[in-house]
Chains A and B, each alone.
Chain A
Amino acid sequence: MQDLLYFLQQLINGLTIGSAYALIAIGYTMVYGIIGMINFAHGEIYMIGAYTALITITGLASLGVAWLPLILIVALICAVLVSSSMGWAVERVAYRPVRGRHRLIPLISAIGMSIFLQNYVHLAQGSRNIGFPALIQGGFQFGDPDSFQTSISYMQITIFITTLICMTALSLFISRSRIGRACRAVSQDLGMANLLGIDTNRIISATFIIGASLAAVAGLLLGMYYGSVDPLFGFIAGLKAFTAAVLGGIGSIPGAMLGGLILGVSESMTSGYLSGEYKDVVSFGLLILILLFKPTGLLGKPEVEKI
Chain B
Amino acid sequence: MSMLVLEDVHTHYGKIEALHGVSVEVNKGEIVSLIGANGAGKTTLLMTVCGNPQASSGRIILEGRDITRAPTASIMRSGIAIVPEGRRIFSGLTVEENLHMGGFFKSKAEIRKNQDHAYELFPRLKEREHQRAGTMSGGEQQMLAIGRALMSKPKMIILDEPSLGLAPLVIKQIFEIIGHLRDEGITVFLVEQNANQALSLADRGYVLETGRIRLQDTGANLLANPDVRAAYLGG
Contacts and interface: CB of A to CB of B under 8 A. Distances in A.
A184 B134 CA distance: 14
Given A306-B141, A307-B138, A195 B101 contact: no
Interface in B54-95: 72-74, 76-77, 81-82, 84, 86, 88, 90-93
B92 A197 contact: no
B2 interface: no
Interface stretch (A57-65, A86-94, A186-194, A269-277): A186-194
Contacts of A200: 73
Contact of B84 (A192, A197, A305, A306): A192
Interface string A262-302: 00000000000000000000000000000000000000000
A304 B134 CA distance: 8
Interface string A254-268: 000000000000000
Interface residues of A, number: 22
Interface string B95-121: 001001110110000000000000000
A172 interface: no
Contacts of A305: 91, 134
Contact of A303 (B50, B91, B100, B138): B91
Contacts of B73: 194, 197-200
Interface string A160-197: 00000000000000000010011011001101111111
Contacts of B92: 184, 188, 303
B165 interface: yes
Contact of B101 (A198, A303, A304): A198
Contacts, number: 74
A196 B152 CA distance: 8
B97 A196 contact: no
Interface string B109-145: 0000000000000000000000000111110010000
B52 A191 contact: yes
B148 interface: yes
Interface string B179-191: 0000000000000
A181 B100 contact: yes
A193 B104 CA distance: 10
A197 to B, nearest CB: 4
A196 B165 contact: no
A300 to B, nearest CB: 13
Contacts of A178: 100, 104
Contact of B90 (A189, A194, A199, A306): A189
A78 to B, nearest CB: 33
A306 B52 contact: no
Given A189-B90, A194-B76, A306-B134, A181 B97 contact: yes
A200 B73 CA distance: 8
Contacts of A307: 86, 138, 165
Nearest to A303: B91
**Residue among B76, B100, B101 having the largest count of chain A Cβ atoms under 10 Å:** B101
A195 B91 contact: no
B90 A185 contact: yes
Given A195-B72, A306-B137, 5 more contacts: A185-B97, A195-B50, A197-B77, A198-B104, A303-B92
Interface of B: 50, 52, 72-74, 76-77, 81-82, 84, 86, 88, 90-93, 97, 100-102, 104-105, 134-138, 141, 148, 152, 165
**4 tightest Cβ-Cβ pairs between the two chains A and B:** A197-B76, A197-B77, A192-B88, A185-B90
